[in-house]
Amino acid sequence: MSTRPTAVLVAGLSALLLAACSSAGGSSDAPAGSPDGPHPVRATPTPTPTPTPTGPYVALGDSYTAGLKISPQVGEPKGCARSAVNYPSLVAKALGLADGRFKDVSCSGARTGDLTGSQQTDGGGANPPQLDALSPATRLVTVGIGGNDAGFMEVVGECAKENLADAVKSLIGSDRAAAPCREHYASAGGAADQVQRKVDAAGERLGQVLQEVKRRSPQARVYVVGYPVLLPADPASCVPVLGRTVSEGDLGFLAEKEQQLNAMLKRRAETAGAVFVDAAAPSVGHDMCAGEAVRWVEPPFPAPGLAAIHPNARGQEGVAAAVLKAVRG
């Protein structure tokens, strides 16, 4: 954020105070600069705003960055499922970057290890190590990754399974649990929170990746992009979309896990000297339980042609706006 308004305000207040002191004390015959005379006022230098980077720009990330199933799909390998209107492409267009100054190497299914190693995609073809797209000339980098390392989609699937099993038990007379998925993760393996352990491990790997980004592109401004909210603050509002297949307690559990993931990304970005782009705050009210006309993330039964529990085109536009706000300061 620019400090120009603060500098102007400080300079203005200084001038007013000096004027007040001169009026109260009258004139002085002592020479300027003497112990008893008025001292010359030195102008407060105005900080120069950091210019918006003009590229080269490299986008790294997983399916939330790539734009899984959002038309039109472009680039190679096809299995990465990159969209021509994902947030990196929208950011590059807004910054006026020509093709030669923008590389999108994000890939659906990517984990942090796929930034330094080749990734074999489900749809065929291998995506080269994403960090290979960096160079000393790179001036802007966005990184949107970590959810697959934390196994977030596996957690969603596990919650659906635990709630289904609990519903079957209720048919034979057992009381339904308030949050069967939370209970499963709290008790399995004696770990207080298996998901948090995965999030922490993902953070360690992300920290190493960000160090490598800085090593390869020391002049680049690096932005770690968080994930938009999947669920609303009030789980009851999801009943019209999800029914009662997942308990309100477990919807709250899933929301907590995503908050933990975003909190980890923010900490790692700050530790590495990168900027964290909060995609959660602007997406409030646009979760997968919101109406089709406003949601940024598709529900388990998505609109035709889109990916379940992934951003739609509107979501990519919203994240692009958050990134641009951060980049432009």
CATH number of the domain enclosing 280: 3.40.50.1110
The 3-state secondary structure of the chain, one letter per residue? CCCHHHHHHHHHHHHHHHHHHHHHHCCCCCCCCCCCCCCCCCCCCCCCCCCCCCCCEEEEECHHHHCCCCCCEECCCHHHCEECCCHHHHHHHHCCCCHHHEEECCCCCCCCHHHHCCEECCCCCEECCHHHHCCCCCCEEEEECCCCCCCHHHHHHHHHHHHHHHHHHHHCCCCCCCCHHHHHHHHHHHCCCHHHHHHHHHHHHHHHHHHHHHHHCCCCEEEEECCCCCCCCCHHHHHHHHCCCCCHHHHHHHHHHHHHHHHHHHHHHHHCCCEEECCHHHHCCCCCCCCCCCCCECCCCCCCCCCCCCECHHHHHHHHHHHHHHHHC
What is the rounded average pLDDT of the residues 6-34?
A: 35
| CA–CA separation, 63 and 9 (whole Å) | 45
70-125 pLDDT, tens digit each: 999 999 999 999 999 999 999 999 999 987 899 999 999 999 999 999 999 987 79
Q: Can you give the pLDDT at residue 172?
A: 62
* pLDDT score of 58 more than 60: yes
Lowest average pLDDT, out of 10-14, 53-57, 119-123, 283-287, goes to 10-14
Residues 41 and 80 grouped into a single domain:
no
Residues 96 and 172 grouped into a single domain:
yes
Q: Can you give the pLDDT at residue 300?
A: 86
Task: Identify the sign of the CA torsion 205, 207, 212, 217.
Answer: positive
* pLDDT score of 3 more than 70: no
What is the rounded average pLDDT of the residues 179-193?
A: 67
Residues 80 and 30 grouped into a single domain:
no
Residues 21 and 169 grouped into a single domain:
no
Is the CB of residue 207 less than 8 Å from the CB of residue 199? no
- 63 is annotated as an active-site residue: yes
Residues 88 and 20 grouped into a single domain:
no
Between the alpha carbon of residue 236 and those of residues 139, 228, 239, 247, 266, the distances in Å are 45, 19, 6, 9, 29
Catalytic residue among 106, 108, 247, 310: 310
Domain that holds residue 146: 57-328
* pLDDT score of 288 more than 60: yes
What is the rounded average pLDDT of the residues 56-70?
A: 98
Residues 239 and 127 grouped into a single domain:
yes
Residues 24 and 61 grouped into a single domain:
no
Residues 151 and 7 grouped into a single domain:
no
Closest CA to 202 of 159, 130, 254, 151: 151
Residues 71 and 42 grouped into a single domain:
no
Lowest average pLDDT, out of 142-156, 234-248, 302-316, goes to 234-248
Q: Can you give the pLDDT at residue 21?
A: 33
Catalytic residue among 39, 63, 89, 187: 63
Residues 89 and 190 grouped into a single domain:
yes
Residues 227 and 254 grouped into a single domain:
yes
More confident residue, 274 or 300: 274
- 135 is annotated as an active-site residue: no
Residues 3 and 127 grouped into a single domain:
no
The domain total for the chain is 2
* pLDDT score of 2 more than 60: no
Q: Can you give the pLDDT at residue 170?
A: 61
